[in-house]
Amino acid sequence: MSMAKSYDVIIVGAGPAGIFASLELCNSGLDVLLLDKGGELDARLCPVQDRGGCCALCSPCHLVSGFGGAGAFSDGKLTLSTDIGGRLKELIGTEQTQALIDYVDSVYLKFGAPPKVYGMGEDTVELGREAASAGLTLVPVKLRHLGTEFCYKTLRAMQSYLSSRVDIRLGITTKSIMVDDSAVKVVETDNGERLGCRYVILAPGREGAEWLCNEAKTLRLGLKSNPVDVGCRVEVPLQTMERLTSTLYESKLEFYSRSFNDRVRTFCMCPGGEVIMESTGGSDPVITVNGIGYAQPRTTNTNFAVLVSTTFTEPFHEPIAYGKYLARLANLLSGGVLVQRLGDLMDGHRSTQARLQDSPIQPSLTAATPGDLSFALPYRYIKSIVEMLQAMDRLVPGVASPYTLLYGTEVKFYSSQLRLKPCLETEIDNIFAAGDGAGVSRGLVQASASGIVAAREILTRMGKAPSPVTRNTLPPASASNDLD
């Protein structure tokens, strides 16, 4: 077997898990390669986002692949809690998870994240009481908000720092992991290149979740299904949510539907943000809906996801395929994303362009097709989403307005969970897995922390001491030209 080159560590995926693993390893003297099928930050431009039109189904999608991963064009929420954003505390314990979260936060600050933190103070307690009276649970979360523009600048500074310390190769798709004598030996790319390695960290993110699931089956790694998270993105006037967003920025609200007792939750709240389309699913892509937000609001709307979590029983074991099936129904009906007024949904008829034009809320995603979400989402999901919005309306009047916009479909592709040791090693020696795609995390912070867990275990096995980037290796953010 001829190999182009051998490395000590190969990291598959340049999202937050891969980046923070690289940061942890980059000053150790180890030969490290960071791979991603997407492109450079500056080249990650959606061809239709600014001028409108249907998703072009770029392969790979510039919004979800490349340096920074899908988080590069998120609104950059750093959720500083062990209870939200992943299951790290189940693997390594609450105390160690909190210590890692604090460290991750300090690194983001060092690379230019803004100092303001939301979700603290007496107002949060009062909002929690009011939420409970409406049948909701408000999960208090300490949160730092970068905004899409600062998220980009922070990642650009991280790439600049890493570029002279690790080998970064973008636009390279990992095809397979090759194992010999029950240990990883080679990473093979889609162009036939074979790269030797002693360790590999699989961190392909949500976009690579299906690939990782298929690779796990080939390698006979244990998998189990997480709950399937499916729903829609909701858009309301900025002032409707202002009481919550000014204090919390993102309101983590949970609800159990009266009809089905399904867990329903809000996710990714974007004050002053925009609803966007993105393509995900690798070689068999679907178009889904998401949201972005900015440090300074650009629109007069706030958008957020309402997701229904459903746990299926045996013999079901294809959560990603199920999520793609539902997204594809919306694609089939609309050519991309459907949008419907809540009042039209409740009245049992589709929204039209004329009805949208007469509404006080104008869609920030102009390419969405007016239609009827009840043709794309099962009744169980529709009923649970409506009940959630009605409960929210008791806390925040106006959320369940007949003019509220619903976009579909939103699906989170992190539903398959690898069987991992506490150090995040798989059942094959020296193969580690981290981030959202492995089912470890559901957000930027715990994804970043999981990359550190895997990297530190590798450093220990190699007899190397961790060299945190915050320890005299990086100038203050204000002194970095990359943050201008």
* Residue 368 DSSP symbol: P
What is d(CA 203, CA 22) in angstroms, rounded to the nearest whole number? 11
- Kindly state the DSSP code that residue 86 receives in the 8-state scheme: B
Higher pLDDT, 435 or 319: 435
Full-model pTM: 0.87
Per residue in 369-398, pLDDT tens?
999 999 999 999 999 999 999 999 999 999
Fold of 5-125+142-223+418-483: FAD/NAD(P)-binding domain (3.50.50)
- Residue 477 above 50 pLDDT? no
In this prediction, what percent of the chain has a pLDDT beyond 90?
A: 67
Kindly provide the b/e burial profile for residues 386-416, where b requires at least 16 CB atoms within 10 angstroms of the residue's own CB.
bbbbbbbbebbeebbbebbbbbbbbbbbbbb
> Residue 303 in contact with residue 364, Cβ under 8 Å?
yes
Using pLDDT thresholds of 50, 70 and 90, give the confidence band for residue 480.
very low
pLDDT at 415: 58
Residue 404 has pLDDT above 60, yes or no: yes
For the sheet with 263-271, list strands across it: 137-138, 253-256, 263-271, 301-310, 228-237, 405-412, 338-341, 369-370
Q: Give the pLDDT confidence score for residue 210 in this predicted structure.
A: 86
The per-residue pLDDT for range 177-214, each reduced to its tens digit, is 999 888 888 999 999 999 999 999 999 998 888 899 89
Structure-block tokens of residue 471: 């320890």
Asked if residue 484 has pLDDT above 60, the reply is no
**3-class SS letters over 218-240:** HCCCCEEECCEEEEEEEEEEHHH
Site of tokens 């790319």? 189
Q: For 103-123, how does the pLDDT look when each residue is reduced to its tens digit (9 = 90+)? A: 999 999 999 999 999 987 778
Q: Rounded mean pLDDT of the chain?
A: 89
Lowest mean per-residue pLDDT among 217-226, 235-244, 389-398: 217-226
Q: Is the pLDDT of residue 364 over 80?
A: yes
Is 432 exposed, middle or buried (CB count within 10 Å of its CB: 0-12, 13-18, 19+)?
Answer: buried
Q: What confidence score (pLDDT) does residue 295 get?
A: 76
pLDDT confidence band for 23 (50 / 70 / 90): very high
Per-domain residue ranges of the chain? 5-125+142-223+418-483, 227-412
68, 41 in Cβ contact below 8 A?
yes
What pLDDT score was predicted for residue 233? 98
What is the C-alpha to C-alpha distance for residues 323 and 232, in angstroms, rounded to an integer?
Answer: 12
Reported as a pLDDT band with limits 50, 70 and 90, residue 481 is very low
